[in-house]
Amino acid sequence: MKFNYLIERIFASRWIAGPLYSDAINVSFKLKKRHILSMINFLGENYSNKSDIKSNVDEYLKLIKKIGKSNTNSSISIKPTQIGLLYSKSELYKNYSKIVESAKKYGIMVWLDMEEHQYVKQTIDLYLLKISSKNTGICIQSYLKRSMNDVKNIVKNNGYIRLVKGAYKESKNIAFDSREKVTENYANIMLYLFKNSKHFLLATHDLNMIELSESLNKKYKRDVMYAMLNGIRNREAVKLADSGHKMIIYVPYGTQWFKYSYRRLREASNLKLVLRSLLSRQNIN
């Protein structure tokens, strides 16, 4: 019990804002002072019970009101399996529409997280449903072999893409199986976005990709935003914001921290990296 509590405190204080939406709003205020925006996520995934889904949707609706009144200019990011993807298509569409419409009243952007590969098609279909409301965006993972085609389809529909490498364990039939190939595909998709999309978000801690994007932007002059996860490379995020980059930090909150933290531990390729990220000063004042 004590060990669990200790682990929870380590992660909660570094990667996760805290158990309540007010904790995420507090982090957003600190970020805003450093000219960094926030993208808030209520932790939790894979819900198939209708009352759990309803309480997740209610939480997002409360969060939207709180952001609207707080002046933090935060956006929100939702996992489709939090709001009905595993329950029914009609429930999912109803809940997503409700959230997007409510956020729109306050001028808040709603991002869709991308989860495991079996949900990609449903997530893109969901995104396309409300694409015309203009306050929405979708995450696309460069580790999936299908992603370049998905990006072309979304860009054709004037969508807003947040490009990541991908955080889940996927089979090599559908995903690139080495970090080099995933990064190469990230660079290829990024180039496509520079050539074909007016605005997009590059979500990565990979400084080589950020450097490459800077040189591409000298030529293409796009509206690029950069995004990182809270507590991984906060000091780098502050440096980027200070040097004039538009920067967003993904701020998760809630008590369902385990799966999120496990993915962060897994993707840091060695223990030294995790320790460095956990021990180095990550708080932004």
Tell me whether residue 126 or residue 228 sits nearer to ligand FAD (CB atom). Answer: 228
- Radius of gyration over alpha carbons of the chain, in Å? 18
Q: Tell me the per-residue interface mask from 131 to 150 with ligand FAD, x by CB under 6 A, - otherwise.
A: --------x-x---------
Distance of closest approach, residue 156 Cβ to ligand FAD, in angstroms: 21
How is residue 37 written in tokens?
A: 């925006």
Distance of closest approach, residue 162 Cβ to ligand FAD, in angstroms: 6
Residue 72 interacting with ligand FAD (CB under 6 A)? no
Tell me whether residue 50 or residue 276 sits nearer to ligand FAD (CB atom). Answer: 276
List phi, psi (to 5°) of 161. -105, 135
Residue 42 interacting with ligand FAD (CB under 6 A)? no
| Cβ 139 vs Cβ 167: under 8 Å | no
Tell me whether residue 194 or residue 250 sits nearer to ligand FAD (CB atom). Answer: 250
List all residues 6 or more positions away from 211 whose beta carbon is below 8 Å from its beta carbon: none
Residue 74 interacting with ligand FAD (CB under 6 A)? no
Q: Tell me the per-residue interface mask from 240 to 279 with ligand FAD, x by CB under 6 A, - otherwise.
A: ----------x-------------x--xx----xx--x--
How is residue 120 written in tokens?
A: 């990609």
Q: Tell me the per-residue interface mask from 194 to 223 with ligand FAD, x by CB under 6 A, - otherwise.
A: ---------xxxx-----------------
Binding site for ligand FAD (CB under 6 A): 113-114, 139, 141, 164-168, 179, 203-206, 227-229, 232, 250, 264, 267-268, 273-274, 277
